[in-house]
Structures are given as C-alpha cells and as structure tokens.
A and B are shown apart, each in its own frame.
Chain A
Amino acid sequence: AQTVTQSQPEMSVQEAETVTLSCTYDTSENNYYLFWYKQPPSRQMILVIRQEAYKQQNATENRFSVNFQKAAKSFSLKISDSQLGDTAMYFCAFMKLGTNAGKSTFGDGTTLTVKP
C-alpha cells in the first residue's frame, strides 16, 4: 500500500513571494504518477502539476514547479510569485500505474494562505 505524507497542515506566504509545500511518499512501485491538486473554497479539485516517475526532469507549469527526488521519495511544490488566488488547500497525490491503475492516494493536505 502507498502512503502520502504532507507534514505542513498550514502555511502562509506574502503575495509575490515564493513558497514550497512538502510531500513525501512511500511505495514499492516503480511506475507511478505524482500530482499536486489545488482545492479552493469551492471544493473543485484542480490539477496543478503532474510528474511521471520515469522522468528525471522536474515538471513545471508557469509559476508552479516541483522538486522530484525519486530515491528520497520526495515531491515538493514550489509556487513562485504567489497570488491571492493561490489561497487554497493543496493535496499531494500518488497514482500507481499497471494493475489497478488510476487509484489515487492523497496526502492530508496543506492549507495555503496568501496574504496581501
């Protein structure tokens, strides 16, 4: 079974600054995806970024980037130039491939507040 740990229940950052959210996971699988999702107060789950485990290059989506350390089983999210609209709960998630592909395991989430 997989586990995902987000050790920061709450974080805050000043607008325009940079913040990093931590995520570690435990798995014996070799092929998997990792995700960061954003859940604003509307509770709609929004995909922020995806990382394929077989790719060594860290994924980047505009102001969002990850630091993927496969050996250390670490997958942190960096948000640059934070905006008020980034205020939300952020979930790190693990998805295995192969048999039972698509089933995701989520961390407990980090509530991020961007302060003006």
Chain B
Amino acid sequence: GAVVSQHPSWVICKSGTSVKIECRSLDFQATTMFWYRQFPKQSLMLMATSNEGSKATYEQGVEKDKFLINHASLTLSTLTVTSAHPEDSSFYICQGQTNYGYTFGSGTRLTVV
C-alpha cells in the first residue's frame, strides 16, 4: 500500500532554533499533503494543506511565517518550524493523498527546550 515516510520521528531543539520535518511518499506521487498538529490525548488539528508546486493553504489561526511548508516535488513535503518556542512542542503528522485514499506518516514528536 501507499506509504508516507516521515522524519525525524522525534526531535529536541533549543528555543529559537528551526526544525524541519520531512514527509516522503515512497510508492506514490502525493500531489497534496495535509499537515496536522496533535497535543497529548487530544484530537488532530489541521494546520495547512500543501500542493505540489504551489503555495500552501493555511488554516485560520496558523502562523504561516512560523510554520513554513514546502512541497517542491511530488514525493516530498516539508514543514519547518521557525524560531521554535516551548509552546510549539507537539506531535506533528502529515497525511498524503493517493489515488485510492489517504495515508498518514508516522508522526514527529517535537520538544522545544
């Protein structure tokens, strides 16, 4: 089946630094990738929708300058958390659109110290 490889699975960074999270579609071309954020024991909240070759569409309340999304190819979408702060600590997960449905990456646990 369709696989989305998400890296890193976990990362600890210092406050003020930037972190990049990658999602690669291994056996399909993901024209669209959705990025979600999940706090512990809470639901997934859609942050943005990225489409290959165009600007991402951000949900209301999501800072586009803090959460930079790039979808430069059909197999790679990246989320960069810029100038990270402790309140950005969360679980980030991507979801790729395939011809047959939608598949999730394995998620990235970000801790900002």
Contact = CB atoms under 8 A, between A and B. Distances in A.
Q: What interface size band does chain B fall in?
A: 20 to 34
Interface string A31-61: 0000000000011110100100000000000
B71 to A, nearest CB: 14
Given A44-B106, A44-B107, A91 B34 contact: no
Contacts of A106: 43-45
A105 B46 CA distance: 8
Nearest to A6: B43
Contact of B46 (A91, A103, A109, A111): A103
Contacts of A91: 43-44
B43 A107 contact: yes
The DSSP consensus for interface residues of chain B is: strand
Contact of A109 (B34, B42, B91): B42
Interface residues of A, number: 19
Contacts of B32: 102
B97 interface: yes
A50 B102 CA distance: 11
A31 to B, nearest CB: 15
A73 to B, nearest CB: 18
Contact of B107 (A43, A95, A105, A111): A43
B42 A108 contact: yes
Nearest to A37: B104
A19 B98 CA distance: 32
Interface string A95-114: 10000101111111101000
B77 interface: no
15 contacts: A43-B38, A43-B109, A44-B106, A45-B93, A47-B101, A47-B103, A89-B41, A91-B44, A102-B49, A103-B49, A104-B44, A104-B46, A105-B46, A107-B43, A109-B42
Given A43-B107, A103-B46, A109-B42, 8 more contacts: A43-B38, A43-B106, A44-B104, A45-B95, A91-B43, A103-B49, A104-B44, A106-B43
Interface of A: 42-45, 47, 50, 89, 91, 95, 100, 102-109, 111
